[in-house]
Amino acid sequence: MSVQVRPIAESDWPEFIRVQREAFNSTDTEERDHWRELFEVDRSLGAYDGDLLVGGTVVAGLTMTVPGGPMPVAGVTAVGVLPSHRRKGVLTALMTRQLGDLREKGESVAALYASEAAIYGRFGYGRAADSVFFRIPSAHSAFRRDAPSDPSLRVRLADPAAARADLEKVFEAVRTTRPGLYARSDARWRLSVVGDEEAQRRGNGPLRCVIVEDDHGPRGYALFRVKDGWTEHSVPDGEVLLRELFATDPAAYALTWRSVLDRDLCARLRVWARPVDDPIVHLLAEPRQLNAGWLDDLWIRLVDVDRALASRAYASPVDLVIEVEDRVCPWNAGRFRLVASAGPGTVKASCARTGDPADVTLPVDALGAAYLGGRPLTALGAAGLITEHSEGALRALSTAMSWEPRPWGGLIF
Ligand SMILES: CC(=O)SCCNC(=O)CCNC(=O)[C@H](O)C(C)(C)COP(=O)(O)OP(=O)(O)OC[C@H]1O[C@@H](n2cnc3c(N)ncnc32)[C@H](O)[C@@H]1OP(=O)(O)O
């Protein structure tokens, strides 16, 4: 099969949506035309078998927080290949072309959410952030006695779309505090956050919103649905399905959680993706009752290793030669000297090619995994995936690249 990869023509956009529906076994009937507002259609790529569009992908330009502050990141999404054309190298052709295009456009970092965790490592993406899911029984959701509270706070129910300005205030106050969070465009707020899509509703009721505020304005919010349910003995068995929750301070955070945990007629709260260092873990009197599980969150690919590594801050000073292995983007392969002084908030790093001998040799996906600060390189070393040539070099690099708080994207793009 000979497949050509090229930008998708405007007139092929309905075809692209059709490929996506088929690729993702989509059951919803809503129009996906609003994708045009979320993604950069002019940076889409299609794989053509003759005239037939058989696969594609798009890019959403994001401003993502990394250690040290926000930077431009290419959000890769809507990757799909028709079932009739799978395992014949279509994705490989799309990914190879896309990485070349990103480099040409001057993008140094790409990010994505993977539908399956086995797909993207081969293209140099590293698992940079994890998330945890919880299933908290309402009857065992009490907080420890010294949980923070603030009598000036009150809870208000709101229509999500109407309350958007308040939600944005809270989100903007926290966005740059955690690597992985990214700025939300008007379309992202409207369509992905407060929009009530059929695909997300799936019989779980409308999107609901609580806002926690004081006389000066909002300090926390939660977006959620309530799935109605009763046991055969007429015992209430509803579920709160928490979509997102942000707060600016510990007291507002605690009250926002309480306002969704204490919903009457609900037996439990489920949430699919929270940061691994979510404070709720420490607030519950019975943390085992979180019934937590672990998932991969953001995947990161360093498109240009030297520019990417010079664009973030480091937790401790470092001066090392790293040798990068990268078969997909050969321009990254080779040795670089990474020099950084520590200091949150200020990026004082340089990364340049060198002929000096390497202290550490590692595959490019390991650097992607560590880029947001949440994946200790020492753990990848213990797994046998990194080679240390100078004693202590791996620990030094791992410590320098680690960051608090842990990374988390918060919203699939
Ligand atoms: C960022 C996002 O949008 S994530 C969404 C990804 N899309 C989906 O999950 C939709 C459903 N799936 C698909 O559309 C396709 O199966 C894709 C896009 C995942 C793969 O496309 P294909 O054209 O079949 O991939 P391609 O033939 O290039 O495979 C490349 C390699 O990846 C492997 N691979 C492909 N898909 C998978 C998978 N789902 N799990 C594990 N390995 C995979 C192939 O076996 C092949 O391995 P090899 O290099 O060792 O031979």
Query: For residue 21, what pLDDT band results from cuts at 50, 70 and 90?
Result: very high
Res 206 pLDDT > 70:
yes
Q: What is the Cα–Cα distance from 312 to 69, expressed in whole angstroms?
A: 7
Q: Is any atom of ligand 1 closer than 6 Å to the C-beta of 1?
A: no
Q: Which of 326, 323, 308 is nearest to 370 (CA)?
A: 308
Ligand 1 near 88 CB (within 6 A): yes
Residue type, 381: G
How far is Cα 180 from Cα 373, in angstroms, rounded to an integer? 10
| Ligand 1 neighbour 115 (Cβ under 6 A) | yes
d(CA 365, CA 361): 12
CATH number listed for the domain at residues 4-127: 3.40.630.30
Nearest atom within ligand 1 for CA of residue 113: 1
What is d(CA 27, CA 45) in angstroms, rounded to the nearest whole number?
24
Instruction: State the CATH class of domain 304-401.
Output: alpha beta
Mean pLDDT, rounded, of the chain:
95
For the chain, give every domain's residue range. 4-127, 132-294, 304-401
| Nearest CA, atom 50, ligand 1 | 122
Measured over the CA atoms of residue 271, residue 274, residue 278 and residue 281, the dihedral's sign is positive
Does position 30 have pLDDT exceeding 70, yes or no? Answer: no
Of 194-203, 272-281, 330-339, 380-389, minimum mean pLDDT range: 194-203
Q: Is 81 annotated as a binding residue?
A: yes
For 88, what's the count of Cα atoms within 13 Å in the CB-facing half-sphere? 15
Could you list the active site residues?
120, 413
| Mean pLDDT of the region 367-386 | 98
Distance CA 30, CA 249 (A): 38
Name the DSSP letter for residue 236.
B
Query: What are the tokens at 313?
Result: 């801050």
Whether residue 29 has pLDDT greater than 70: no
pLDDT reading at 343 higher than 80: no
Rg (CA), the chain: 23
Query: What residues form DSSP beta bridges with 386?
Result: none
According to the model, what pLDDT value does residue 42 have?
A: 87
pLDDT > 70 in the chain, percent: 97
How far is Cα 318 from Cα 342, in angstroms, rounded to an integer? 8
Secondary structure letter of residue 188 according to DSSP: I
Mean pLDDT confidence for 186-200? 87
pLDDT computed for residue 336 by the predictor:
98
Is residue 47 within 6 Å of ligand 1 at its C-beta?
no
Task: Give the neighbor-by-neighbor strand order of the sheet with 69-81.
Answer: 4-6, 40-49, 52-66, 69-81, 109-113, 298-302, 126-127
CA–CA separation, 119 and 103 (whole Å): 21
Do 4-127 and 304-401 show the same overall fold?
no
Output the pLDDT for position 104: 97
Tell me, what amino acid is at 173? A
The string of pLDDT tens digits covering residues 386-399 is 999 999 999 999 99
Amino acid of residue 393 = A
Give the pLDDT mean for 238-259: 98
Distance 87 CA to ligand 1 centre (A): 7
Average pLDDT over every residue of 394-413: 97
Q: What is the mean pLDDT of residues 345-361?
A: 91
Say if ligand 1 is within 6 A of residue 20 CB.
no
The residue-averaged pLDDT of 59-64 equals 97
pLDDT band at 202 (very low <50, low <70, confident <90, very high): confident
pLDDT for the residue numbered 36:
83
pLDDT at residue 346 in the model: 67
Q: How confident is the model at residue 163 (pLDDT cuts 50, 70, 90)?
A: very high
Query: What's the confidence (pLDDT) of residue 381?
Result: 98
- Tokens coding 19: 């490929």
In the sheet that holds 238-247, the strands lie side by side as 154-158, 208-214, 217-227, 238-247, 266-275, 130-137, 293-296
Helix (H) or strand (E) holding 101: helix 90-104
Residue-level pLDDT at 256: 98
Query: So what's the pLDDT on residue 186?
Result: 96
Report whether pLDDT(167) > 70: yes
* Cβ contact 363:385 at 8 Å: yes
Question: pLDDT digits over 107-133, tens only?
Answer: 999 999 999 999 999 999 999 999 999
Residue 358 per-residue DSSP state: P
**For the segment 254-306, what is each residue's pLDDT rounded down to a tens digit?**
999 999 999 999 999 999 999 999 999 999 999 999 999 999 999 999 999 99
How much distance in Å is there from the Cα of 411 to the middle of ligand 1? 23
Q: How far apart are CA 403 and CA 372, in angstroms?
A: 7
The pLDDT of residue 345: 61
Tell me how far the alpha carbon of residue 112 lies from the centroid of ligand 1, in angstroms. 14
Residue 10 has pLDDT above 90, yes or no: no
| Cis ω before 275 (30° cut-off from 0) | no
How far is Cα 408 from Cα 273, in angstroms, rounded to an integer? 9
Cβ atoms of 364 and 302 closer than 8 Å: yes
CATH class of segment(s) 132-294: alpha beta
Residue bearing the CA closest to ligand 1, atom 34 = 119
CA of 270 to the centre of ligand 1 (A): 30
> For tokens 């926390």, what's the residue?
220
- Residue 196: what pLDDT? 81
